[in-house]
Amino acid sequence: MQQSIEQYMQQLGKQARAAAQVLAFASTKTKNNALQAIHDALVAHQSQILAANKIDMEKGQQNSLDAALLDRLELTPKRFEGMLQGLKDVIGLTDPIGEITDLAYRPSGIQLGKMRVPLGVVGMIYESRPNVTLEAASLALKSGNAIILRGGSEALESNKALAQVIQNALKTTELPHEAVQVIETSDRAAVGELITLTEYVDVIIPRGGKGLIQRITNEARIPVIKHLDGNCHVYVEAQADMTKALPIALNAKTHRYGVCNAMETLLVDQAIATTFLPEVAKLYLEKEVELRGCEQTQAILGDAVKAATEDDWHTEYLGPILAVKVVKDMNEAIQHINHYGSHHTDAIITENFSLAQQFLARVDSSSVVINASTRFADGFEYGLGAEIGISTDKIHARGPVGLEGLTSQKWIILGHGEIRE
Amino acid sequence: MQQSIEQYMQQLGKQARAAAQVLAFASTKTKNNALQAIHDALVAHQSQILAANKIDMEKGQQNSLDAALLDRLELTPKRFEGMLQGLKDVIGLTDPIGEITDLAYRPSGIQLGKMRVPLGVVGMIYESRPNVTLEAASLALKSGNAIILRGGSEALESNKALAQVIQNALKTTELPHEAVQVIETSDRAAVGELITLTEYVDVIIPRGGKGLIQRITNEARIPVIKHLDGNCHVYVEAQADMTKALPIALNAKTHRYGVCNAMETLLVDQAIATTFLPEVAKLYLEKEVELRGCEQTQAILGDAVKAATEDDWHTEYLGPILAVKVVKDMNEAIQHINHYGSHHTDAIITENFSLAQQFLARVDSSSVVINASTRFADGFEYGLGAEIGISTDKIHARGPVGLEGLTSQKWIILGHGEIRE
């Protein structure tokens, strides 16, 4: 059995690599036509896909999956509509492939530049949401990559149905249908194989819980673009404009709780703590946000705040809880952020130019924000059109990853017969 | 002992991380002053360093290291001069850090852009050449990174002497001397620790033999920018201009043998094989290059060529041997290159515009060359000023890696109080 999983994954890998070589020089028109064919096939086979999803939902209920997971798993007609719209959006995106930049003559006479090219084969590992299957497949195709998809076992029927529709649609186009492949087994050994297929897979993108990501990071032999967690901060500096600080502090925490770009710790400069904290606390308590503060915060807010422990500074609550800390100055704020944060998104509220400038340079996060909510850190707000994930890595892609994150640049030399002297 | 190596490496890592936080916002002037201080200290302590190198050389001779390795190990006054010049060159390079690009307003009102920042801490693992110690240290400092250096055990005394001079020089500057640290033990366990220091090290750059690189790729838990091998090709297409093809084919093979951008396999279109092969073979035989050909090549060249085996297509000879294959057309050439090559540097010689265009798009190598020698693929020829390695990876940095490869881009948001609606 172990042997056969290995052979199965080798076969998927080999097929993906062969497909990638065709995709790499497919024209924009060919790729858009293929995406349109997938769109039309999805419209035609909506009921089939929703029926498959229903089987997953029923199995999930039998297995007592929790409500949040069932919610993410469910494909409603409205969500299906959203998937189709997402696909149309990807068709509308500018094709990044083939772009040549920095083409200039070198003293030797050669003309040197860079050309944007696909990575090749993407391995995508994610949990229950079946709409990720389509999002990831469409971004991969648009950027000229083949993709091997491994969704959660609880979404297997939905994903198999989606894959079948996608592959059948691709068969009517100029692109190979192996450009999009779904791993059709829930055996966990398949993941272990996928992340070590060094010959056939160029990058692994995991989306899911911390446990999944860490397993993959430890075991992968292929570069991983990973998204760990979002422990985001807002630092309200002494010279903050209160008409900006209050709405931003409220928005960053309460606009949506379960998202990675929500604020989890509020840092307040001691110079304004006694005035700012009571005002902002009132807003949070109206929204029933639980506050956990340092000693100084407790001294100012009294019973309105619980005592924060060391753990609180590390925690991504993803819920209506906020850690609050009073800091001496910006240095302490930056040290706190760089030490406890997850290098995702962190903001300062200040009117002081030089402090803002320093904060930008010194905070080691994928998005650093001045006078705006951390909630802006996502692919759609950044104009990427769609996002395949948010990277908390520094290598290759940082922050929201769109089409460009699925590409690399190779060097090109246009010569006239030059040889090296 | 194992325990103490672990503690030692943890300490180096912790110190490097602290140093990196200072380096990240050091001004260009501060960094250049530090590099100048290192330059002056090296001049003042040249004899001390050369004496340490002499100890390594004597030990190497006692241990019967081979001549090539001893040659790379040796620091002559002339090579020392070269090291100093390299350092001056790095001082002269434009500082990549802090560069802000693509700053533009989004519909939400925020101003979004990208800022170039250091990676943080670089772990550099290399073999015998002590001059790499200075090259790597100076590139890391200039790009605002701390670096932990692990040279070959045979160069330990040289590297310790260099590290001492560098660190003492740094102590006279505004930068922390832990910005540059050399691992001062030849215990191989130190490498195992370095490549798993996920908390303290952001990227591993190995330079050395295939065995070293593969061990590191397998065991590292940190992203690796690796340079595997250079199995480079020149494809002489049917419409090649012979006045370009002959000198390029000769230069790519014989300009220098032991380098990764030398050609290892010559592909010749069957349409011109009977005229081109005898001419080019004559040039190679004058240089005493051994030819190993496919059946068609043998039929044309007779005794002047040995039979090539499957192994030959895979081999990076790094010497005066060349594999030669006649191909049916460009498709076969590209398939051969993408299959047998190492995705390093590959060239086509042709006057046909459309074929050149296709070759550029379809060859999956870090440098793709039209009508020029593969030998141009290096950091100096590309104008990077200096190179820390040549990446055969697709992720993050591809081909020659200079200062920019030691940086990443973070997103920055300049707001005016915007919140997410």
Selected residues 349-378 of chain A with any CB under 8 Å from a CB in chain B? 358, 360-362, 364-373, 375-377
Mean residue pLDDT of chain A comes to 94
* Interface with chain B: mutation pick from A360, A375, A390, highest number of B CBs within 10 Å: A360
C-beta of residue B124 within 8 angstroms of C-beta of residue B136: yes
Q: What is the phi/psi pair of residue B197, to 5°?
A: -80, 65
Using only C-alpha atoms, chain A has a radius of gyration, in whole angstroms, of 24
Specify whether A25 is located in the same domain as A172.
Answer: yes
* Interface with chain A: mutation pick from B196, B373, B404, highest number of A CBs within 10 Å: B373
With a cut of 70, say whether residue A2 has pLDDT above it: no
Model's pTM, two decimal places? 0.90
Q: In this structure, which long-range contacts are made by residues B284-292, counting pairs with CB atoms below 8 Å and at least 24 apart in sequence?
A: B284/B250, B284/B253, B284/B254, B284/B322, B287/B250, B287/B254, B287/B320, B288/B320, B289/B253, B289/B254, B289/B320, B289/B321, B289/B322, B290/B320, B290/B321, B290/B322, B291/B321, B291/B322, B291/B324, B292/B321, B292/B322, B292/B323, B292/B324
Tell me, yes or no, if B117 comes closer than 8 A to chain A by beta carbon.
yes
Q: Are strands A399-401 and A389-391 parallel, antiparallel or unpaired?
A: antiparallel
Q: Determine the Cα–Cα distance for residues B194 and B406; give it in Å rounded to an integer.
A: 18
Q: In this structure, which long-range contacts are made by residues A57-63, counting pairs with CB atoms below 8 Å and at least 24 apart in sequence?
A: A59/A154, A59/A157, A60/A154, A63/A154
Indicate yes or no: CB of B394 within 8 angstroms of CB of A202: yes
Distant-in-sequence, close-in-space partners of B251: CB < 8 Å, separation ≥ 6 = A419, A420, B373, B375
- pLDDT at residue A3, rounded to an integer: 60
**Per-residue model confidence as pLDDT tens digits over B97-150:** 999 999 999 999 999 999 999 999 999 999 878 999 999 999 999 999 999 999
Indicate yes or no: CB of A418 within 8 angstroms of CB of B24: no
C-beta of residue B154 within 8 angstroms of C-beta of residue B55: no
- Sheet containing B367-372: order of strands: A100-105, A111-118, A407-418, B367-372, B345-349, B232-236, B263-269, B321-327, B290-293, B306-307
The vertex-B402 CA angle with B399 and B404, nearest 5°, equals 100
Whether B47 is covered by a domain: the verdict is: yes
- pLDDT at residue B1, rounded to an integer: 46
Hey, is B398 helix, strand or coil?
Answer: coil
Q: Which H, E and C letters describe B121-165, residue by residue? A: EEEEECCCCCHHHHHHHHHHHHCCCEEEEECCHHHHHHHHHHHHH
Number of A/B CB contacts below 8 angstroms equals 224
Residues of B in contact with A202 (CB under 8 A): 394-395
pLDDT band at A209 (very low <50, low <70, confident <90, very high): confident
* Interface with chain B: mutation pick from A214, A418, A421, highest number of B CBs within 10 Å: A418
With a cut of 70, say whether residue A285 has pLDDT above it: yes
Q: Which residue in B251, B358, B371 is closest to A416 by CB distance?
A: B371
Specify whether B55 is located in the same domain as B178.
Answer: yes
**H or E stretch including A206?**
strand A203-206
Whether B420 is covered by a domain: the verdict is: no
Indicate yes or no: CB of A110 within 8 angstroms of CB of B251: no
Q: What percentage of residues in chain A have a pLDDT greater than 70?
A: 99
Compute the nearest-CA separation of B128 from chain A (Å): 27
Q: HSE (CB half, 13 Å, CA atoms) of B362?
A: 24
- Identify the closest residue of chain A to B398 by CA–CA distance: A410
Whether B169 is covered by a domain: the verdict is: yes
**Per-residue model confidence as pLDDT tens digits over A16-56:** 999 999 999 999 999 999 999 999 999 999 999 999 999 99
Whether A393 is covered by a domain: the verdict is: no
Kindly tell me the burial class for residue B349, based on how many C-beta atoms sit within 10 Å of its own C-beta (0-12, 13-18, 19 or more): buried
C-beta of residue B162 within 8 angstroms of C-beta of residue B27: no
Looking at residue B20, which CATH number applies to its domain?
3.40.605.10
pLDDT band at A151 (very low <50, low <70, confident <90, very high): very high
Residues of B in contact with A25 (CB under 8 A): 358, 361-362
C-beta of residue B306 within 8 angstroms of C-beta of residue B293: yes
Specify whether B206 is located in the same domain as B240.
Answer: no
Indicate yes or no: CB of B370 within 8 angstroms of CB of A415: yes
Compute the nearest-CA separation of B220 from chain A (Å): 9
Specify whether A23 is located in the same domain as A144.
Answer: yes
Residues of A in contact with B106 (CB under 8 A): 376, 381-383
- pLDDT at residue A286, rounded to an integer: 97
Instruction: Identify which has the larger pLDDT, A66 or A292.
Output: A292
Indicate yes or no: CB of B414 within 8 angstroms of CB of A371: yes
* Interface with chain B: mutation pick from A21, A25, A340, A373, highest number of B CBs within 10 Å: A373
Indicate yes or no: CB of A420 within 8 angstroms of CB of B251: yes
- The DSSP letter of residue B221 is S
Specify whether A166 is located in the same domain as A58.
Answer: yes
Residue with tokens 């030691």: B406
- pLDDT at residue A208, rounded to an integer: 82
Indicate yes or no: CB of A410 within 8 angstroms of CB of B367: yes
Whether B98 is covered by a domain: the verdict is: yes
* Interface with chain A: mutation pick from B114, B117, B246, B260, highest number of A CBs within 10 Å: B117
**Number of domains into which chain B is organized:** 2
Question: Terminal CA-to-CA distance of chain B, rounded, Å?
Answer: 58
Tell me, yes or no, if B103 comes closer than 8 A to chain A by beta carbon.
no
Residues of A in contact with B119 (CB under 8 A): 394-395
**Per-residue model confidence as pLDDT tens digits over A96-106:** 999 999 999 99
C-beta of residue A271 within 8 angstroms of C-beta of residue A300: no
Amino acid, res. A100: I
* Interface with chain A: mutation pick from B108, B215, B408, B421, highest number of A CBs within 10 Å: B408
C-beta of residue A349 within 8 angstroms of C-beta of residue A241: yes
Q: In this structure, which long-range contacts are made by residues A246-249, counting pairs with CB atoms below 8 Å and at least 24 apart in sequence?
A: A246/A279, A246/A280, A246/A283, A247/B417, A247/B419, A248/A347, A248/A349, A248/A371, A248/A372, A248/A373, A248/B417, A248/B419, A249/A280, A249/A283, A249/A349
pLDDT band at A211 (very low <50, low <70, confident <90, very high): confident
Q: Which residue in B115, B368, B395 is closest to A203 by CB distance?
A: B395
- Identify the closest residue of chain A to B109 by CA–CA distance: A372
Indicate yes or no: CB of B396 within 8 angstroms of CB of A396: yes
Q: What percentage of residues in chain B have a pLDDT greater than 70?
A: 99
Q: Which residue in A243, A369, A412 is closest to B413 by CB distance?
A: A369
Q: Are strands B407-418 and B111-118 parallel, antiparallel or unpaired?
A: antiparallel
Whether B382 is covered by a domain: the verdict is: no
Residues of A in contact with B314 (CB under 8 A): none
**Per-residue model confidence as pLDDT tens digits over A50-91:** 999 999 999 999 999 988 889 989 999 999 999 999 999 999
User: What is the rounded average pLDDT of the residues B235-243?
Assistant: 98
Which tokens sit at B300?
A: 């044309």
**Domain enclosing residue A349, as ranges:** 232-376
With a cut of 60, say whether residue A295 has pLDDT above it: yes
- Identify the closest residue of chain B to A375 by CA–CA distance: B420
With a cut of 50, say whether residue A404 has pLDDT above it: yes
Selected residues 15-44 of chain B with any CB under 8 Å from a CB in chain A? 21, 24-25
Specify whether A163 is located in the same domain as A249.
Answer: no
* Interface with chain A: mutation pick from B360, B398, B409, highest number of A CBs within 10 Å: B360
Distant-in-sequence, close-in-space partners of A43: CB < 8 Å, separation ≥ 6 = A84
Selected residues 219-248 of chain A with any CB under 8 Å from a CB in chain B? 221, 223, 241, 243-244, 247-248
- pLDDT at residue B127, rounded to an integer: 85
Tell me, yes or no, if B409 comes closer than 8 A to chain A by beta carbon.
yes
With a cut of 80, say whether residue B2 has pLDDT above it: no
Q: Which residue in B250, B395, B413 is closest to A408 by CB distance?
A: B395
Indicate yes or no: CB of A420 within 8 angstroms of CB of B373: yes
Compute the nearest-CA separation of A339 from chain B (Å): 11
- pLDDT at residue A226, rounded to an integer: 85
Whether B386 is covered by a domain: the verdict is: no
With a cut of 80, say whether residue B312 has pLDDT above it: yes
Residues of B in contact with A399 (CB under 8 A): 410-411
Indicate yes or no: CB of B418 within 8 angstroms of CB of A119: no
Residues of B in contact with A368 (CB under 8 A): 115, 410-413
pLDDT band at B211 (very low <50, low <70, confident <90, very high): confident
Whether A382 is covered by a domain: the verdict is: no
Specify whether B188 is located in the same domain as B59.
Answer: yes
Specify whether B274 is located in the same domain as B250.
Answer: yes
Q: What is the dihedral of CA A297, A298, A304, A305, to 10 degrees?
A: 80
- pLDDT at residue A1, rounded to an integer: 46
Indicate yes or no: CB of B110 within 8 angstroms of CB of A376: yes
Indicate yes or no: CB of B247 within 8 angstroms of CB of A381: no
**H or E stretch including A56?**
helix A46-62
Compute the nearest-CA separation of A359 from chain B (Å): 10
Q: What percentage of residues in chain B have a pLDDT greater than 90?
A: 86
- pLDDT at residue B3, rounded to an integer: 59
* Helix, strand, coil shares, percent, chain B, to 5: 50, 20, 30
Specify whether A211 is located in the same domain as A243.
Answer: no
Question: Terminal CA-to-CA distance of chain A, rounded, Å?
Answer: 58
Specify whether B21 is located in the same domain as B150.
Answer: yes
Helix axes B353-362, B330-340, angle to 10 degrees: 20
User: What is the rounded average pLDDT of the residues B336-355?
Assistant: 97
Q: What is the phi/psi pair of residue B118, to 5°?
A: -70, 160
Specify whether A323 is located in the same domain as A205.
Answer: no
Instruction: Identify which has the larger pLDDT, A235 or B394.
Output: A235
**Per-residue model confidence as pLDDT tens digits over A219-242:** 998 889 988 789 999 999 999 999
Indicate yes or no: CB of B221 within 8 angstroms of CB of A218: yes
Looking at residue B349, which CATH number applies to its domain?
3.40.309.10
The vertex-B200 CA angle with B197 and B203, nearest 5°, equals 75
Q: Which residue in A395, A418, A420 is closest to B396 by CB distance?
A: A395
Q: Determine the Cα–Cα distance for residues B192 and B187; give it in Å rounded to an integer.
A: 10
Tell me, yes or no, if A402 comes closer than 8 A to chain B by beta carbon.
no
How distant, in Å, are the alpha carbons of A163, A216, B37, B117, B227 from that of B99?
43, 33, 25, 8, 27
Specify whether B210 is located in the same domain as B274.
Answer: no
**Per-residue model confidence as pLDDT tens digits over B32-80:** 999 999 999 999 999 999 999 999 999 999 999 988 889 989 999 999 9
Instruction: Identify which has the larger pLDDT, B1 or B206.
Output: B206
With a cut of 60, say whether residue A276 has pLDDT above it: yes
The lowest-confidence range among A56-65, A347-356, B166-175, B204-213 is B204-213
Residues of B in contact with A362 (CB under 8 A): 21, 24-25
